[in-house]
A and B are shown apart, each in its own frame.
Chain A
Amino acid sequence: EDKVVQSPLSLVVHEGDTVTLNCSYEVTNFRSLLWYKQEKKAPTFLFMLTSSGIEKKSGRLSSILDKKELFSILNITATQTGDSAIYLCASRYGNKLVFGAGTILRVKS
């Protein structure tokens, strides 16, 4: 059965801390791994990863994929209260996505 497992399930940090969110996957016919940030409404796209070892960066966020070990990490440096959200990773096979349960991140001021 295809599955995506995220850890930790929730995390509370202080502003300025660096966090690492984990995502492991077991998906047949894997195509890519995606990270989304979900605040009050629909998820917003962060990164799509298809190749191992190539870090993608956007401001304070970065992500990398390891296709051999079947996992990805999302790093957020110098966290801000606006980073508080649910972070979802999803593995794509064909045109479908399998989502992990998400990591609830809360950044305290």
Chain B
Amino acid sequence: GAVVSQHPSRVICKSGTSVKIECRSLDFQATTMFWYRQFPKKSLMLMATSNEGSKATYEQGVEKDKFLINHASLTLSTLTVTSAHPEDSSFYICSALYRTSGTPGANVLTFGAGSRLTVL
């Protein structure tokens, strides 16, 4: 099955620093990955769609200069939270579309384990 690896799982940083989160598809190629943010006891909020070899597409209200996304290869997307502040503390999850085998195949969204960011 498809596995998406996310790293780090937990990071604590000081206010004003930048933090990079990596999302890797381990056994499949992902031309498209998605970055979500989840607040406590709330649902996942799509932040942006990461496209390999091109600029990410950001959802309304998400600052692209604040949350830098780079999709450098077919198996790696990164999210950099720049000049982090305490209000950026959250759980960030990436996902990638994986096409299942069989006829017909199906596109299933597979999630990474998430990264807990705490900004002091």
Please give the residue numbers on chain A whose beta carbons come within 8 Å of chain B beta carbons, in ascending order.
34, 36, 41-45, 48, 86, 88, 90, 92, 95-102, 104
Q: Which residues of A contact B97 (CB under 8 A)?
A: 95
Set B6, B34, B93, B113: member contacting A96, Cβ < 8 A: B34
Interface of A is mostly: strand
A34 to B108, CA, bound (A): 9
B62 in the interface (beta carbon within 8 A):
no
Q: Which 8 A-B pairs have CB atoms at the shortest separation, nearest pair first?
A: A42-B111, A99-B43, A101-B43, A42-B114, A99-B44, A41-B113, A42-B113, A41-B114
Q: Which residues of A contact B111 (CB under 8 A)?
A: 36, 42-44
Known: A41-B114, A42-B111, A104-B41. A96 touches B46 (CB 8 A): yes
A42 to B44, CA, bound (A): 10
B82 in the interface (beta carbon within 8 A):
no
B32 in the interface (beta carbon within 8 A):
yes
User: Please, could you name 5 A-B residue pairs with CB atoms under 8 Å apart, sorted by A?
Assistant: A41-B114, A43-B111, A90-B44, A99-B46, A101-B43
Q: Which residues of B contact A48 (CB under 8 A)?
A: 106, 108
Smallest CB–CB gap between A95 and chain B, Å?
6
The residue in chain B whose Cβ has the minimal distance to the Cβ of A97 is B109
Known: A95-B97, A100-B43. A45 touches B108 (CB 8 A): yes
Q: Which residues of B contact A45 (CB under 8 A)?
A: 108-110
The residue in chain B whose Cβ has the minimal distance to the Cβ of A34 is B109
A96 to B109, CA, bound (A): 9
Q: Which residues of A contact B113 (CB under 8 A)?
A: 41-42
Set B41, B42, B46, B112: member contacting A42, Cβ < 8 A: B112
Interface contacts beyond A42-B113, A44-B111: sample of 17 additional A-B pairs, CB < 8 Å, sorted by A:
A34-B108, A34-B109, A41-B9, A41-B113, A42-B93, A42-B112, A43-B111, A45-B110, A88-B43, A90-B44, A90-B109, A92-B109, A96-B34, A96-B49, A97-B109, A99-B43, A99-B44
